[in-house]
Amino acid sequence: MSRSFSDWATWHQMEIFDASKSAWREGEKALIARACRQFGACVPPSPFGPGDDCALLGRGAFLQNVFATSDAVIFGRHFDADAPPRRVGEKLVKRNASDIAAMGAAPKFALLCAICSKDVSADWLDEFCRGAGQCADRLGIKIVGGDMASVPERFFSAHMTLLGDSDFPALLREGARAGDKICVTGALGFSRESGRHLDFEPRIAEGGFLARRSCALSRGAEGASACTDISDGVAADLKNLLSPETCALLYSERIPRAEFGGLRASLERALCDGEDYELLFAWRGEFGPLEREWRGNFECEICEMGKIFDASEFARRFGIPDARQCAREIFVSENGRPPARFSRGGFSH
């Protein structure tokens, strides 16, 4: 296709760096949506394209569902100079595996690309690669390729594309409805101070369990209706499970909060810190039988911490004049008090 002079003049005048027109000014989600609009017709709808923890690629040779995800670790954002390089390599693998786990799948094959400034120590890079390789091997992942690129100074980032598969239908973010219980694995908050943002374990077996149980919904039985992993914090990630017609009510006293240095995470820290890499899911059915079955299979704790409501019903029940103020919002009730909207955001990557 020919390019007109006016098009060339417009491109020629563009500056790649212009803080007044920052691509990030509306946040990560808006930036992704903007990029997808520019990509055009090549972007399929979720779950086959962007919008969930992974993209569902279709069926593999043995009729499994095949999934793909991509995530990074960036110096100064996801780790600092004090972080052991081996644990940084492990984190890259595990945070990608956590996305695969949230879809109920098992990780299989990875591509690893690194952007590495020329002052990065070869010894540091060796340790990073050992950490990534040993973690991948332990989780059953084969690193089958990738790329290396250099930049001038004091910069390192590594990006992984991970493929996984499952014999069960995809466990999606969408699917939750009013009446479903809001559940979470593990404890929340203090991920940075405790070092858990490096040392966490992706809930692969637990995600597979939830995917198997989600199959029961089609038969009218109890099961998981939606799931995601907590990377940005409950304050951000829970909204991904809500539809425009629903809202979430959390009970403050039920939220499982991490402890560190003799302190228990505050409500804000538990919901906003991010990088917990726990599974956040909606459960349709009674929690008691699920909890008993869970404890017979897994060491990590599980907690019912809230409920999904129809936004209009919620507004009527609690005297909110406009139901639109409730749609896709999170409310918190503390010790039986009337619920208040939780307005804090989550962790920004």
pLDDT of residue 16: 86
Q: Is residue 40 part of a domain?
A: no
Tell whether 195 and 152 lie within a shared domain.
no
Q: Is residue 348 part of a domain?
A: no
Cis peptide before 107 (omega within 30 of 0): no
Helix, strand, coil distribution of the chain in percent, nearest 5: 35, 25, 40
Binning pLDDT at 50, 70 and 90, where does residue 160 land? very high
Q: How far apart are CA 344 and CA 268, in angstroms?
A: 8
Binning pLDDT at 50, 70 and 90, where does residue 216 land? confident
Q: Dihedrals φ, ψ of 274, to 5°? A: 75, 180
Tell whether 200 and 259 lie within a shared domain.
yes
131 within 8 A of 89, measured Cβ to Cβ:
yes
Tell whether 204 and 333 lie within a shared domain.
yes
Most confident range (mean pLDDT) of 22-31, 213-222, 264-273 is 264-273
Tell whether 109 and 188 lie within a shared domain.
no
Tell whether 186 and 317 lie within a shared domain.
yes
Q: Average of pLDDT values for 72-97?
A: 96
pLDDT of residue 61: 62
Does residue 4 register a pLDDT over 70? no
Number of compact structural domains in the chain: 2
Q: Average of pLDDT values for 77-95?
A: 96
Tell whether 273 and 336 lie within a shared domain.
yes
Residue 151 is inside which H or E element, if any?
A: strand 142-151
Q: How far apart are CA 311 and CA 167, in angstroms?
A: 35
Tell whether 200 and 58 lie within a shared domain.
no
Give the whole-number percent of the chain exceeding pLDDT 90: 82
pLDDT of residue 15: 85
DSSP notation for 38-49: HHGGG-PPTTTS
pLDDT of residue 172: 95
CATH code for the domain in which residue 266 is found:
3.90.650.10
Binning pLDDT at 50, 70 and 90, where does residue 27 land? confident
Does residue 348 register a pLDDT over 80? no
pLDDT of residue 29: 85
Residues spanned by the domain of 128 = 53-166
Does residue 90 register a pLDDT over 90? yes
Domain boundary among 100, 132, 166: 166
Tell whether 124 and 210 lie within a shared domain.
no
pLDDT tens-digit map of 218-276: 788 899 999 999 999 999 999 999 999 999 999 999 999 999 999 999 999 999 999 99
pLDDT tens-digit map of 283-319: 999 999 999 999 999 999 999 999 999 999 999 999 9
Binning pLDDT at 50, 70 and 90, where does residue 130 land? very high
Closest CA to 71 of 205, 210, 232: 232
Tell whether 130 and 272 lie within a shared domain.
no
Does residue 215 register a pLDDT over 90? no
Pairing, β 302-310 against β 181-185: antiparallel
Q: Is residue 189 part of a domain?
A: yes
Does residue 349 register a pLDDT over 60? no
Buried b (16+ CB within 10 A) or exposed e, 290-305: beeebeeeeeeebbbb
pLDDT tens-digit map of 46-55: 999 999 999 9
